[in-house]
Amino acid sequence: MLLLELFWSFVKIGFTSFGGLSMIPLISSEMISHGWMNAHEVSDIVAIAEMTPGPLGLNCATFAGMRAAGIFGAFIANMGALAPTFTLCAVAAVFFDHFRDNKRLGQVMTGVRPACVGMVAGVVIDLAAANYIDAGGGVNVPSAVLGVVDLVLLLRFKVSIPKVLLLSAVVGIILFGVMGL
């Protein structure tokens, strides 16, 4: 039953995601509503997925599947996330020339892309709330300052994502581990 739920969750995630970040809103809502992850763990998996090879959606599938139901769960979740590839994409491969010149696909994406931007913006606020605000409701100053520094490094100085994540891990060890903030 758990395996079936896991598979179905990732089928839904697979069919409504269009590259990279667009999966995060649904992954976040599916994982949290089933109790497979909390908001902190969703943040962790986004970070881990960015630092390891492989696409975000499949890395999330492996992480969530393994935590929910072991190695077999990870495999089942991956197959769910790849369901559009097995079905839609296999059909598209047969009729490749028709798909290449299909106008509708571009029209659909004209609306789906801004919808994804809107949803991802919502997720950023959710994750920021989970990571910068303490259980008591106050802002966690060290985390918030680190977040602002990271944003400046990424946008102003064009530092790569894995480097920013690694730097933040080191700063985390110093601030929260050594200094005990």
Structure tokens at 106: 């571009």
d(CA 137, CA 57): 31
Candidate residues 3, 32, 128, 133; the one interacting with other proteins per rule CB under 8 A? 128
Residue 52 engages other proteins in binding (rule: CB under 8 A): yes
For other proteins, the binding residue among 2, 4, 117, 139 (CB under 8 A) is 117
153-172 mask for other proteins (x: CB under 8 A)? -xx-----xx-xx-xxxxxx
Q: Among 1, 2, 7, which residue's Cα sits nearest to residue 78?
A: 7
Beta bridge partners of 139: 133
How far is it, in rounded angstroms, from Cα 153 to Cα 165?
Answer: 11
**Residue 139 makes contact with other proteins by CB under 8 A:** no
Residue pair 126/28 in contact (Cβ under 8 Å)? The answer is yes
Residue 59 in contact with other proteins, rule: CB under 8 A = yes
Q: How far apart are alpha carbons 89 and 67 in whole angstroms? A: 29
For helices 39-51 and 56-81, the axis angle rounded to 10 degrees is 100
147 is an interface residue for other proteins by CB under 8 A? yes
Is there binding between residue 122 and other proteins (CB under 8 A)?
yes
The answer to the question of residue 9 lying near other proteins (CB under 8 A) is no
DSSP class of residue 85? I
Site for other proteins contains 107 (CB under 8 A): yes
DSSP of 105-124: HHHHHHHHHHHHHHHHHHHH
Alpha carbon of residue 79 to chain centroid: 17
Q: Say whether residue 68 binds other proteins (CB under 8 A).
A: no
| CB of residue 161 to other proteins, shortest distance in Å | 5
141 binding other proteins? (CB under 8 A): no
Smallest gap from residue 159 Cβ to other proteins (A): 10
Among 3, 34, 67, 133, binds other proteins (CB under 8 A): 67
By beta-carbon proximity to other proteins, the closer residue of 4 and 93 is 93
Q: Does 34 bind other proteins (CB under 8 A)?
A: no
